[in-house]
Amino acid sequence: MKKLKNNWPALIPIIFLVLSFGSWPYAFYQALRWVVCLSAGYLTYKSYGQKETSWVVIFAIIAILFNPIVPFYMTKGTWQFFDLIALSLLIVSLFIKKKN
C-alpha cells in the first residue's frame, strides 16, 4: 500500500491515459489535459529536487504537451500516439525512477 501512496502522481495520469483510448465526451479529454499536466509538473518538481535531470526534461515535455491553458491541437490519431508515449514513460518511471 505504501508503494501506491508514494506513486499517486504517476498512477492517476496513467489511469486517465489508459482510459483515453476509449470514446469519451470532449470534457473527459479536457480533464485529461489538466490531470496529466499537473501531475507531470509535480513530477518535474520532485525530479528536480532529486537531481534527476533526464526525468526533469521528460516530465516537463509531457507537462508542456498536455498544457490545458495554451493547448496543442492535433488529430485524435496523433493524440493517441502522444498518449501512448506519455503512458509508457509514466509506467517506466514507476520502475526505474529513484525513490526519495
Total-model pTM: 0.88
Domain boundaries, the chain: 41-83
Tens digits of residue pLDDT in 23-32? 889 999 999 9
Tally the residues of the chain: 100
Distance CA 31, CA 27 (A): 6
Tens digits of residue pLDDT in 52-78? 999 999 999 999 999 999 988 998 899
Amino acid identity of 72? Answer: F
Would you say 12 and 96 are in contact if contact means Cβ atoms under 8 Å apart? no
